[in-house]
């Protein structure tokens, strides 16, 4: 079938680009490693390693070989999943990261959910009643929220909602005794796996404020983009034609205008997912949650250079894969992109 | 377009359905699933700051690690306030030449896996430290080997007389040799011990997914009534968050509470503030060998700059006392040295004489400690009043330890809160000021007279004589201005009334040993 | 993104500003004035500690109270404006220059160069700025410099991609083809016609970006990998005050509000410029 062939061609091309990007990322990280001042073997062995231990590490990493051989050795280790060893926990960085990644993922997932769940409906209503009270209030709020530093918002809300009004927990990921047995380390996910209702609700309770704070900035961007896009579509000829045909306002809005305006929103959400993972560190430190952001932050504070660079590689890869997933999603959803992408294959 | 309409709606519908289903499942199943078994009334939750890097007894030099493992492992000897008593060892004695110590162990000590603790475990623990050479291995300087006579008798052999060795054993935790040997991997068990338990102490390592939990060990050789069934160590870096969680009841005991908050909590009847007065002393240690601080006149001048009273009152909330000498006030064998006060004119004069008024000095501090950040800033501001420029640079503790290896890399000024690893002045003097104590000699100090005196001290079995020598050394150090001794610090710890019976300060595992916790309502 | 109206000569700008626009522009000018002249008018006491007066609530003497070292919060904000805004300007200008250069080369050059540069851009886009900044802090030590470099390095891809898209579109327009037929070189076309019109879009982005960069710089200082104490940079100020939310709220609220106001003002400035450039976007 032609469509199938076109799809798979596109997929292959996209995958190829992703692999290329990952390779570029790895090379960048390698350059950063080489740029670090000091003896690389010493840094890898740990600040107070003995001379013998340092030499052992030098041999294991092959640091005496010419740079190009080291480069391929580095790539080879990456492919095997060896992101280096943390000098403070003495565990492979990948192991450390795997332990904390689910926690960040559940935070970002909830934040993205809140982001879209709030921004899309308000964007639709605001665009529909352009210039009205609701629209003005939303736009002003969007401007205000968009300018506030996330960590400041976190501190203030943590104090007000957590300490003063006591409606959300102050810090941590689970209340005492409420956590389901740890499978992934992410409390909400573990609660789902264990089918433990109270634990899930407790985990959500701990997640809601951090996720809301994380989502705030991104929600304002989605709101503005959707609103602008929708306004543009609503003014277009084809909508006028549908209106002339007598379609109800709601059907026209939701059925025709909305699908055509979602494209920029989807693109935006895709890039936002990556930015959210990066910004998670701010929220994680204020709310004492474990996550890859907090891990990286600690690694920097303790000059655990390989843990830091391993994290950069890891997080960069996660972001790449998320972008790939979003691209595929976009393809499935929007026929214009479909046509453009598939059409371009035939050139 | 029609298919899109349903796709978009489908997507949102799907999201909505998933949300509703999970919520329903949560509520519905909630009624059926029992809560996780954990007895809150017999659990104590501790809030403390800082990363818990590892639980390997090798790294008992990390404060957080030491607090936890002091309850999971045992030592041969321990301290009751400032007196040395036996723990695993029932009898111990130096040989006449002070080059070996014989021990008799208790026969009834069980490790957490059920095996019996014997002399070979002691030998293994010491040998492992010697092999690895890092962490607390610096405390067993002079260790040669252990001769195991039988299961409960052993002799530790030293390669030179060292009367400090016995007190040092209060920080050396004994590991289960069979267990560690079986899991030693390529790094002598460091990776495995990072998160596993090889101890014999009153508590066993439990769940570590959210916080480090230790559970009561039923077969401990010295059971005490009233111990909590579980102790949870929650890592909360922000002082303000620790306070908030204390007030909310999510944390029972908070360590290192900011002084301002402690003052505010003193009037709250549901909280009890305990100023922990152990051996903490805030000080700025100089590099006495290299850099602009190598000149004793410069060091003397810098001591006259700081606003001691202002810092103690404004930053520490008066939780402490002005220092007089390089060692903390709670230790024995201290000479009566004068307290240094601010004297900007004299400081300026001395700096001019030394030609150092235009030099830019650099001071390092640990940014994770909020109060130290404030003190560093205050010192910098004080210096500016006489036109002296000091740059502040943050440094993490492991990196600071590494910088001590070479006099050239030792920070010229390092602000820190020092404390005695155990309450013997000898350990601070010998580790801190002997010229061959590379890696722990924070001032890069090298004075042949002090070396001679300290060598004499470790070979002296006579306690009074040793005490006198220590006093002499401290007087020399003070005259040489090896540091800006600021003030002894009482770090407030706070606990909720009704959880703990009381909170006892510990000189070994500051601020308090979890093994000493007793429930208010057992 | 609609292609700018390049075929017609630039329309005369309307010179009557609405009240709202005057307000925003005035605010931005005020902020710039504070950034430039602030440290000159601030009293010297703002650099010195006065522990006896620490954490005093707002009063006639200290409009925003004092911080944990006894320094006047208001004047520290004024002084900190320079560091914060200057760094933000530097970062945005740096990455805009890099982005424009790369976009120009990509759009004007041969297809393979375009593809190659765009792949590089993809790689750049895959790195969240915060993460790279942490990486640089690890390599170079945490400081304002390393934060600025990290952000300049991660900021250019978005600019480059956006500009290149517009430039390519422009290049494909009718009048360009016509000019090419007339023998005008690609390069001349690029620099004389396409580039100046694309810069239009860049100005809008540049203004808005100042706002977001102030936010990100403050965030980096907050987690300790940007400006270090006792820098008066606003993020560092919030970081020092984070323990006092419950006991001395003014130390946290004041710098946070400063960051928010600056960020919002510049963002609105960007919007105003955008609307003026393309009135059809009014109502956004």
Listed residue (B419, B418, B407) closest to B284, CA to CA: B418
pLDDT for A334 equals 64
Of A131-140, B317-326, C187-196, C203-212, minimum mean pLDDT range: C187-196
Mean pLDDT, range B446-471, rounded to an integer: 91
Supply the DSSP string of A89-158, one letter for each residue. T-SBHHHHHHHHHHHHHHHHHHHHHHHHHHHHHHHHHHHHTTTSHHHHHHHHHHHHHHHS-HHHHHHHHI
Report the pLDDT value the prediction gives residue A58, as an integer from 0 to 100.
Answer: 80
Is the predicted pLDDT of residue A32 greater than 80, yes or no?
no
Residue C248 — φ and ψ, nearest 5°? -145, 70
Question: Which residues does residue B483 pair with via DSSP β-bridges, in sequence order?
Answer: B285
CA distance A188 to A195: 10
Residue-level length of chain B: 522
Strands B320-322 and B360-365 turn out to be unpaired
Q: Which residues of B touch A229 (CB under 8 A)?
A: none
* Range B232-253 average pLDDT: 89
DSSP letter for B359, please: P
- Residue that wins the pLDDT comparison between B185 and B141: B185
Find the range with the poorest average confidence among A44-53, C18-27, C179-188.
Answer: A44-53
Give the range among A259-263, B26-30, C261-265 with minimum mean pLDDT. Answer: B26-30
Q: Which residues of B touch A335 (CB under 8 A)?
A: 4
Any idea which of A150-154, A248-252, B449-453 has the lowest mean pLDDT? A248-252
Neighboring chain A residues of B244 at a CB cutoff of 8 Å: 158-159, 162-163, 170-171
Q: Which of A203-207, C105-109, C169-173, C255-259 has the lowest mean pLDDT?
A: C169-173
**Strand ranges across the sheet with B271-276:** B203-205, B212-216, B230-235, B43-48, B253-254, B491-496, B271-276
Partners of C52 on chain B (C-beta within 8 Å) are: 310, 313-314
Q: What is this model's ipTM?
A: 0.79
CA C264 to chain centre: 11
Beta strands in B109-190 (DSSP E): 143-150, 153-158
Instruction: Break chain B down into helix, strand, coil percent, rounded to 5.
Output: 35, 20, 40
Instruction: Tell me what the mean pLDDT of segment A247-270 comes to.
Output: 76
Residues 6+ apart with CB under 8 A from B170: B75, B76, B77, B78, B79, B84, B422, B508
What does the pLDDT average to over C76-80? Answer: 91
- Tell me the whole-structure pTM to 2 decimals: 0.82
Position B51 pLDDT exceeds 90 = no
pLDDT of residue C171 exceeding 80, the answer is: no
Chain B residue closest to C242 (CA)?
A: B240
DSSP-assigned letter for residue B480 = T
Token pair in block for residue A324: 């790939």
Q: Which residue among B25, B26, B53 places its CB closest to the CB of A89?
A: B53
Output the pLDDT for position A342. Answer: 54
Which residue in the block uniquely carries the two structure tokens 């492919």? A79
Q: Across chain C, what does the average pLDDT equal?
A: 81
Cα A346 from chain centroid? Answer: 33
What's the confidence (pLDDT) of residue B123? 95
pLDDT at A337 over 70: no
Q: Which chain B residue has the Cα nearest residue C142?
A: B394
The residues near B334 (Cβ < 8 Å, ≥ 6 apart) are B325, B327, B425, B471, B474
pLDDT category at A43 given cuts 50, 70, 90 is low
Q: What pLDDT is stored for residue B262 in this prediction?
A: 86
Strand partners, B47: B234, B254
**Among B25, B28, B241, beta carbon nearest to A170:** B241
Return d(Cα A106, Cα B208) in angstroms, integer.
19
Spatial separation of the C-alpha atoms in residues B347 and B297, rounded to whole Å: 9
Question: A178 and B43: CB-CB below 8 Å?
Answer: no
Least confident of A218-222, A334-338, B112-116, B191-195: A334-338
Structure tokens at B316: 């520490």
Q: Is the CB of C260 less than 8 angstroms away from the CB of A32?
A: no
Judged on CB neighbours under 10 Å (0-12, 13-18, 19+), C177 is: exposed
Give me the mean pLDDT over the B52-59 stretch. Answer: 90
Residue B186: count of CB within 10 angstroms of its CB: 9
Burial class (CB in 10 A: 0-12, 13-18, 19+), C53: middle
> Which SS3 state, helix, strand or coil, does residue A282 take?
helix
Check if the beta carbon of residue A14 is closer than 8 Å to that of residue A6.
no
> For B363-398, what is each residue's pLDDT tens digit?
999 877 778 888 999 999 999 999 999 998 888 777
| Whether B515 contacts B228, CB under 8 Å | no
Bridge-based pairing state of the strands B83-86 and B77-80:
antiparallel
Nearest to C49 among B258, B264, B377 (CB): B377
Alpha-carbon span B331 to B279, nearest angstrom: 7
Is the pLDDT score of B31 beyond 50?
A: no
Helix (H) or strand (E) holding B230: strand B230-235
* Whether the predicted pLDDT of A26 surpasses 70: yes
SS3 (DSSP) at B275: strand
Min Cα–Cα distance to chain B from C51, Å: 5
Q: Strands, E, within chain A: which ranges?
A: none
Q: Residue C250: which of C61, C50, C73 has the closest Cα?
A: C73
Per the CB < 8 A criterion, the answer to whether B412 and B287 are in contact is yes
When pLDDT is cut at 50, 70 and 90, the band that residue C212 belongs to is confident
* Chains in contact with chain B (at least 3 beta-carbon pairs closer than 8 A): A, C
Q: Do C120 and A24 touch (CB under 8 A)?
A: yes
Taking an 8 Å cut-off on Cβ atoms, the answer to whether B240 and C49 are in contact is no
pLDDT band, residue C7 (cuts 50/70/90): very low
Q: Is B15 on the interface with A (CB under 8 A)?
A: yes
Among A237-251, A258-272, B247-261, C81-95, top mean pLDDT goes to C81-95
Residue found by looking up tokens 């509703």 in the block:
B20
Percent pLDDT > 70 in chain A is 91
**pLDDT value, residue B178:** 95
Q: Is the pLDDT of residue C121 over 70?
A: yes
Give the rounded distance of the alpha carbon of C228 from its chain centre: 20
The residue of chain C nearest to residue B391, with distances taken between CA atoms, is: C230
For chain A, which chains pass the contact test of at least 3 CB pairs under 8 Å? B, C
């Amino acid at each position: 079938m032609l469509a199938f062939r076109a799809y798979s061609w596109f997929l292959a091309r996209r995958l190829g680009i992703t692999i290329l990007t990952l390779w570029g990322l790895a090379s960048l990280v390698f350059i950063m490693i080489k740029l670090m001042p000091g003896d690389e073997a010493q840094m890898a062995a740990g600040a107070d390693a003995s001379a013998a231990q340092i030499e052992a590490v030098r041999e294991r990493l092959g640091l005496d070989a010419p740079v190009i051989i080291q480069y391929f050795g580095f790539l080879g280790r990456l492919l095997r999943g060896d992101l280096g060893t943390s000098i403070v926990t003495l565990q492979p960085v990948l192991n450390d990261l795997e332990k904390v990644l689910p926690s960040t993922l559940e935070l970002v997932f909830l934040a993205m959910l809140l982001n879209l769940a709030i921004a899309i409906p308000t964007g639709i209503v605001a665009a529909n009643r352009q210039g009205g009270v609701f629209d003005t209030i939303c736009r002003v709020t969007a401007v205000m929220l968009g300018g506030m530093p996330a960590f400041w918002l976190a501190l203030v809300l943590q104090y007000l909602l957590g300490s003063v009004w006591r409606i959300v927990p102050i810090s941590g990921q689970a209340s005492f005794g409420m956590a389901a047995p740890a499978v992934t380390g992410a409390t909400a996910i573990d609660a789902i796996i264990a089918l433990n209702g109270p634990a899930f609700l407790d985990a959500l309770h701990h997640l809601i404020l951090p996720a809301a704070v994380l989502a705030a900035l991104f929600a304002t961007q989605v709101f503005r983009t959707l609103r602008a896009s929708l306004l543009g579509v609503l003014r277009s000829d084809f909508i006028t034609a549908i209106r002339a045909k007598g379609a109800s306002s709601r059907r026209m809005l939701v059925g025709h205008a909305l699908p055509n305006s979602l494209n920029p929103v989807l693109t935006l959400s895709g890039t936002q997912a990556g930015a959210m993972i990066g910004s998670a560190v701010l929220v994680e430190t204020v709310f004492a949650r474990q996550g890859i952001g907090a891990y990286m932050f600690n690694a920097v504070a303790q000059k655990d250079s390989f843990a830091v660079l391993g994290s950069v590689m890891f997080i960069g890869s996660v972001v790449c894969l998320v972008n790939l997933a979003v691209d595929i999603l976009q393809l499935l959803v929007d026929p214009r992109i479909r046509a453009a992408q598939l059409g371009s294959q035939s050139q | 377009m029609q298919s899109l309409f349903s796709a978009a709606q489908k997507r949102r519908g799907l999201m909505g359905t998933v949300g509703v289903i999970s919520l329903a499942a949560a509520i519905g199943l909630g009624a059926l699933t029992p809560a996780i078994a954990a007895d809150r009334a017999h659990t104590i939750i501790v809030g403390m700051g800082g990363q818990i890097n590892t639980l390997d007894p090798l790294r008992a030099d990390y404060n957080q690690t030491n607090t936890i493992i002091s309850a999971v492992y045992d030592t041969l000897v321990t301290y009751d306030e400032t007196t040395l008593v036996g723990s695993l060892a029932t009898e111990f004695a130096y040989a006449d030449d002070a080059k070996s110590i014989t021990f008799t162990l208790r026969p009834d000590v069980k490790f957490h896996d059920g095996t019996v603790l014997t002399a070979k475990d002691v030998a293994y623990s010491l040998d492992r430290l010697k092999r690895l050479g890092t962490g607390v291995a610096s405390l067993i300087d002079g260790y040669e080997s252990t001769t195991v006579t039988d299961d409960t008798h052993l002799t530790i052999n030293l390669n030179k007389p060292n009367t400090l060795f016995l007190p040092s054993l209060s920080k050396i935790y004994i590991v289960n040799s069979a267990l560690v040997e079986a899991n030693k991997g390529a790094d002598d068990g460091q990776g495995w011990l990072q998160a596993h338990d090889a101890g014999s102490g009153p508590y066993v390592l439990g769940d570590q997914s959210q916080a480090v939990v230790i559970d009561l060990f039923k077969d401990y050789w010295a059971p005490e009534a009233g111990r909590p069934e579980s102790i949870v160590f929650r890592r909360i870096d922000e002082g303000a968050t620790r306070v908030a969680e204390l007030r909310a009841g999510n944390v029972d005991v908070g360590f290192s509470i900011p002084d301002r908050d402690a003052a505010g909590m003193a009037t709250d009847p549901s909280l009890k503030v305990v100023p922990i007065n152990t051996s903490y002393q805030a000080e700025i240690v100089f590099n006495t060998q290299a850099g602009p601080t190598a000149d004793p006149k410069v060091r003397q001048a810098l001591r006259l700059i700081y606003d001691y009273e202002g810092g103690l009152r404004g930053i520490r909330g008066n939780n402490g006392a002005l220092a007089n000498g390089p060692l903390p006030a709670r230790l024995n064998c201290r000479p009566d040295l004068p307290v240094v006060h601010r004297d900007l004119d004299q400081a300026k004069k001395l700096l001019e004489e030394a030609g150092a008024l235009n030099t830019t000095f650099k001071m390092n501090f640990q940014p994770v400690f909020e109060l130290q950040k404030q003190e560093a800033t205050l010192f910098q501001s004080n210096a500016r009043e006489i036109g002296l420029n000091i740059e502040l640079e943050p440094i993490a503790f492991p990196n600071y330890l590494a910088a001590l290896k070479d006099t050239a890399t030792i920070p010229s000024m390092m602000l820190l809160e020092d404390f005695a690893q155990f309450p013997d002045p000898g350990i601070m003097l010998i580790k801190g000021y002997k010229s061959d104590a590379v890696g722990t000699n924070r001032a890069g100090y090298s004075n042949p007279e002090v070396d001679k005196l300290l060598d004499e001290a470790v070979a002296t079995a006579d306690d009074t004589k040793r005490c006198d020598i220590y006093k002499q050394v401290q007087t020399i150090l003070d005259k040489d201005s090896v540091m800006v001794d600021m003030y002894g610090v009482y770090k407030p710890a706070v606990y909720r009334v009704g959880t703990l019976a009381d909170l006892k300060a510990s000189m070994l595992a500051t601020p308090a040993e979890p093994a000493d916790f007793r429930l208010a309502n057992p | 993104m609609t292609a700018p109206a390049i075929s017609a000569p630039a329309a005369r700008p309307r010179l009557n500003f609405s009240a709202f626009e005057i307000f925003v522009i005035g605010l931005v000018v005020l902020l710039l004035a504070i950034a430039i002249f602030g440290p000159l008018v601030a009293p010297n006491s703002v650099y010195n500690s006065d522990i006896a007066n620490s954490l005093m609530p707002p009063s006639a003497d200290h409009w925003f109270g004092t911080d944990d070292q006894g320094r006047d919060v208001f004047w520290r904000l004024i002084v900190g404006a320079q560091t914060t805004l200057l760094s933000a300007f530097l970062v945005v200008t740096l990455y805009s220059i890099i982005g424009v250069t790369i976009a120009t080369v990509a759009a004007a050059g041969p297809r393979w160069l375009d593809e190659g540069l765009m792949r590089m851009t993809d790689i750049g886009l895959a790195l969240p700025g915060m993460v790279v900044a942490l990486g640089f802090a690890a390599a170079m030590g945490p400081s304002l410099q390393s934060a600025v470099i990290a952000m300049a390095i991660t900021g250019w891809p978005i600019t480059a991609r956006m500009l290149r898209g517009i430039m390519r579109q422009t290049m494909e327009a009718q009048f360009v083809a016509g000019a090419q037929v007339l023998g005008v070189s690609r390069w001349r076309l690029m620099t004389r016609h396409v580039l100046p019109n694309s810069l239009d879009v860049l100005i809008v982005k540049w203004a808005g970006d100042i706002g977001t960069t102030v936010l990100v710089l403050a965030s980096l200082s907050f987690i300790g990998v940007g400006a270090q104490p006792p820098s008066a940079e606003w993020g560092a100020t919030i970081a020092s005050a984070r323990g006092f939310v419950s006991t001395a709220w003014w130390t946290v609220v004041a710098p946070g509000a400063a960051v928010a106001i600056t960020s919002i003002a510049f963002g609105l400035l960007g919007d105003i410029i955008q609307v003026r450039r393309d009135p059809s976007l009014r109502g956004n």
